[in-house]
Amino acid sequence: MRIGWAITGAGHFLKESVELLTELAKNHEITVFLSQSSEEVLKMYGLYERVTEITGGYYKELATDNDQKFSYPISGRFSLGKYDLLIVSPATSNSVAKIVNGISDTLVTNCVSQAGKGGVQTLIIPVDMELGDVHTVLPSKLELGSCADCKECEAAKKCLEGAIISKTEINLLKCVGCGKCKDSCPYGAISEGKIVTIHMRELDIENSHKLVLMEGIYVLKHPDEIKKHI
Ligand SMILES: Cc1cc2nc3c(=O)[nH]c(=O)nc-3n(C[C@H](O)[C@H](O)[C@H](O)COP(=O)(O)O)c2cc1C
């Protein structure tokens, strides 16, 4: 099967999505489409390299918002029916809101609209599906309560990206999620993969439900459900 897999900038369901993408790439031709924020967020969770490793070659490209400028020519492949399937996983509340309102101003939202025009089935896994609280995982974080404010910060010394510039916060835009800071702090002041509870907004849930009514779009609750549709 030839598949387009679009990733947006959500931490929720990100690891599960990348794991499934890696597995499917062994037997399918997959082009990966990254939103600008997903490039950043993938790095924060240490997953960017895994995505680059499975890409390369015609129809196996890693397409990004930056490469595709403002008219997103690569998304035209969907309107020409060059793909059997488009998967958007995970889908942020931002991208879902745009899709249900017919807005196409990013690589991912252009892929979805062109897939609709080309009759390519689209599976979307929104992160905001049901009202209530959900548990989600954070990237690396400096826990001030445990920080001993050492004269020489071992974590900062170990960070090759220079992401720990002050002893208050990690600059996530520089972080590549390698975890070296966590291992080097003798006080365990760096957490990685901490589980937090976030509240789902009604507006985002409503938008996800609007997706269900859209032609050619199938909404799934979890990346695990994707396999049944391949
Ligand atoms: C560490 C991190 C995790 C995030 N996780 C989520 C998430 O789970 N769901 C969400 O809707 N937005 C999340 N965001 C915010 C999006 O990245 C942001 O809204 C972005 O503008 C979405 O752009 P996109 O839809 O084009 O990818 C996260 C941001 C960061 C820094």
Of all protein residues, the one whose alpha carbon is nearest to atom 7 of ligand 1 is 10
Please give the backbone phi and psi of residue 161, each rounded to the nearest 5 degrees, phi first. Answer: -90, -5
Residue 93, beta-bridge partner list: none
Look up the CATH number of the domain holding residue 160: 3.30.70.20
As a whole number, mean pLDDT of residues 98-107 equals 98
Task: Give the separation between CA 11 and CA 44, rounded to whole angstroms.
Answer: 9
At residue 135 the predicted structure's pLDDT band, cuts being 50, 70 and 90, is very high
Q: What is the pLDDT of residues 41-79, one digit of tens each?
A: 999 999 999 999 999 999 999 999 999 999 999 999 999
191 burial (CB, 10 Å; 0-12 / 13-18 / 19+) is middle
Does any domain span residue 70? yes
Burial per residue of 142-181, b for 16 or more beta-carbon CB atoms within 10 angstroms, e otherwise: beeeebeeeeebbbbebbebebbeeeeebebeebbbbebb
As a whole number, mean pLDDT of residues 115-136 equals 96
Does any domain span residue 147? yes
Structure tokens that stand for 181 in this block? 């800071």
As a whole number, mean pLDDT of residues 184-208 equals 95
Of all protein residues, the one whose alpha carbon is nearest to atom 3 of ligand 1 is 11
Does any domain span residue 36? yes
Give the residue numbers spanning the domain of 74.
2-130+201-229
Does any domain span residue 123? yes
Does any domain span residue 172? yes
177 and 221 together in one domain: no
Which residue matches tokens 């548990």?
Answer: 135
120 and 222 together in one domain: yes
Residue 12 alpha carbon, nearest atom of ligand 1: 8
| 3-state DSSP percent of the chain in helix, strand and coil, to 5 | 35, 20, 45
**Ligand 1 centroid to residue 150 C-alpha, Å:** 33
- Look up residue 142 and give its DSSP letter: E
Does residue 167 have a pLDDT over 90?
Answer: no
180 and 213 together in one domain: no
20 and 63 together in one domain: yes
66 and 177 together in one domain: no
Which residue matches tokens 């890696």?
Answer: 22
**Total structural domains in the chain?**
2
15 and 102 together in one domain: yes
Residues with CB under 6 A from ligand 1: 8-12, 35, 37-38, 41, 44, 92-95, 106, 127, 136, 139
126 and 213 together in one domain: yes
Of all protein residues, the one whose alpha carbon is nearest to atom 2 of ligand 1 is 11
170 and 219 together in one domain: no
Task: Give the separation between CA 205 and CA 142, rounded to whole angstroms.
Answer: 31
53 and 120 together in one domain: yes
Least reliable range by pLDDT among 24-38, 114-128, 157-171:
157-171
Q: By the 8 A CB rule, do 63 and 34 touch? A: yes
As a whole number, mean pLDDT of residues 91-103 equals 98
Does residue 166 have a pLDDT over 80?
Answer: no
Residue 40 alpha carbon, nearest atom of ligand 1: 31
Of all protein residues, the one whose alpha carbon is nearest to atom 17 of ligand 1 is 9
Q: What is the pLDDT of residue 165?
A: 79
76 and 160 together in one domain: no
Of all protein residues, the one whose alpha carbon is nearest to atom 25 of ligand 1 is 95
50 and 82 together in one domain: yes
Residue 33, beta-bridge partner list: 6, 63
Does any domain span residue 135? no
Does any domain span residue 119? yes
**Ligand 1 centroid to residue 41 C-alpha, Å:** 7
92, 169, 195, 204, best to mutate for ligand 1 pocket (most atoms within 8 Å of CB): 92
Query: β-pairing, 190-191 with 141-142?
Result: antiparallel
Of all protein residues, the one whose alpha carbon is nearest to atom 21 of ligand 1 is 37
**Ligand 1 centroid to residue 32 C-alpha, Å:** 18
Angle of helix 14-24 versus helix 36-44 axis, rounded to 10: 100
70 and 182 together in one domain: no
**Ligand 1 centroid to residue 94 C-alpha, Å:** 8
Does residue 168 have a pLDDT over 90?
Answer: no
Look up the CATH number of the domain holding residue 30: 3.40.50.1950
Task: Give the separation between CA 179 and CA 157, rounded to whole angstroms.
Answer: 13
**Ligand 1 centroid to residue 9 C-alpha, Å:** 4
